[in-house]
């Protein structure tokens, strides 16, 4: 099984569910705090691969929900600069196994990448399930 470096927002309900799926599949999960990591644009960019810029973002982040930031209108450089300044904007989790990285937790993509024991297809375990006023996924 794989050793997964897992960058999360501590206290995020869905990150907890995602880690449980990984450990249930036999993977070792090394958890790091996404919000306190000293991100550099070049390093952060590696996690997004071929994803469109709009798919790099955590749409539960207050700045996006409140319309302050519109991911569709940003260049790669602008998006990375905003994320380095405000890591709540980064789509979670960021995961690394060896030299391969991934942003977000598409269960089918993770299963194809490193394998999962079970998939919960009818349950959204990526976006924050709480309203903006009480979301622990998007607020500090």
Among all residues, which ones are annotated catalytic?
12
All residues at 6 or more sequence positions from 84 whose CB lies less than 8 Å from its CB, including other chains = 39, 40, 41, 44
Q: Residue 96 carries which DSSP code?
A: E
H-helix or E-strand spanning residue 4: strand 3-8
From CA 73, how far away is CA 115, in angstroms rounded?
35
């Amino acid at each position: 099984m794989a050793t997964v470096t897992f960058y999360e927002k501590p206290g995020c309900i869905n990150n907890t569910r995602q880690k449980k799926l990984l450990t249930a599949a036999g993977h070792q999960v090394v958890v790091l705090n996404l919000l306190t990591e000293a991100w550099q644009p070049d390093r952060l960019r590696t996690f997004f691969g071929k994803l469109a810029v709009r798919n790099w973002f955590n749409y539960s982040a207050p700045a996006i929900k409140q319309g302050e930031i519109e991911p569709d209108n940003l260049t790669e450089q602008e998006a990375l600069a905003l994320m380095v300044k405000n890591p709540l904007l980064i789509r979670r989790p960021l995961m690394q196994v060896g030299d391969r990285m991934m942003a977000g937790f598409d269960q089918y993509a993770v299963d194809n990448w490193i394998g999962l024991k079970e998939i919960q297809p009818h349950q959204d375990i990526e976006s924050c399930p709480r309203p903006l006023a009480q979301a622990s996924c998007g607020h500090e």
